[in-house]
């Protein structure tokens, strides 16, 4: 019984270590302020828990991929604070962010069932994280909120997360915080 227990514990610890490694939990969050944009956003509106927006983003990305126009930057824009708004009432936008829109892109957007808008160049507090975006609520947001509290700032608008694939198994997320 003791040997089986030890093997089970070792196996569970091994799985936990693998998950921590694969999600990038131990990777640092870095913060800087600076201008970001402009971006041309093409998205669908999602209402409900934020963790369910991935399917919306994937759908927009696949639409453009099928039309021969890759989505260079996927994004999610989160309009409400999930700590103060009921999860079924949360509103977010998910889709593709383009830095250099073409006429072909604008035609595809008009043909599709998407919302599009320009996000102008402006100053943000920018957090960078190389781990899984699913860790954002437990790693990035608390870190940024602590930093803002320390320096007397507050979040003053929606947060935009820009997801960029940087390798076969690597993803870089830029978190753009409007602040005052």
The pLDDT, as a whole number, for residue 9 is 63
The pLDDT, as a whole number, for residue 67 is 86
* Stated pTM of the model: 0.85
Q: Provide the number of structural domains found in the chain.
A: 1
Share of the chain above pLDDT 70, in %: 86
List pLDDT tens digits, range 107-163.
677 777 899 999 999 999 999 999 888 899 999 999 999 999 999 999 999 999 999
List pLDDT tens digits, range 77-98.
999 999 999 999 999 999 999 9
Distance CA(97)–CA(100), nearest Å, equals: 9
Residue 107 lies in a domain: yes
Give the residue numbers spanning the domain of 133.
Answer: 28-179
Beta bridge partners of 75: 95, 162
The pLDDT, as a whole number, for residue 179 is 94
- Longest CA–CA separation in the chain, Å: 69
Mean pLDDT of 26-33: 88
CATH number at residue 74: 3.20.80.10
List pLDDT tens digits, range 70-80.
888 999 999 99
Residue 3 lies in a domain: no
Q: Which residues contact 86 (CB under 8 A, 6 or more apart)?
A: none
Q: Is the dihedral of CA 63, 137, 163, 119 positive or negative?
A: positive
The pLDDT, as a whole number, for residue 37 is 94
Distance CA(51)–CA(54), nearest Å, equals: 7
Q: Are 143 and 27 in contact (CB under 8 A)?
A: no
Residue 74 lies in a domain: yes
Residue 164 lies in a domain: yes
- Using left for φ > 0, alpha for ψ between -120 and 50, and beta otherwise, residue 152 falls in left
Q: Are 37 and 128 in contact (CB under 8 A)?
A: no
């Amino acid at each position: 019984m003791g040997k089986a227990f030890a093997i089970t514990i070792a196996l569970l610890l091994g799985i936990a270590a693998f998950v921590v490694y694969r999600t990038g939990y131990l990777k640092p969050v870095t913060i800087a302020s600076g201008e970001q944009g402009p971006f041309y956003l093409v998205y669908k509106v999602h209402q409900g828990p934020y963790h369910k927006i991935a399917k919306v983003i994937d759908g927009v990305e696949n639409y453009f991929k099928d039309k021969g126009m890759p989505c260079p930057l996927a994004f999610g824009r989160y309009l409400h604070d999930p700590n103060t708004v009921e999860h079924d009432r949360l509103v977010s936008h998910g889709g593709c962010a383009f830095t250099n829109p073409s006429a072909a892109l604008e035609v595809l957007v008009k043909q599709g069932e998407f919302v599009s808008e320009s996000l102008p160049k402006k100053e943000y507090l920018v957090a960078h994280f190389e781990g899984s975006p699913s860790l954002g609520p437990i790693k990035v947001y608390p870190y940024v909120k602590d930093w803002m509290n320390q320096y007397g700032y507050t979040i003053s608008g929606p947060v935009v997360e820009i997801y960029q694939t940087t390798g076969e198994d690597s993803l870089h997320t830029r978190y753009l915080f409007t602040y005052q």
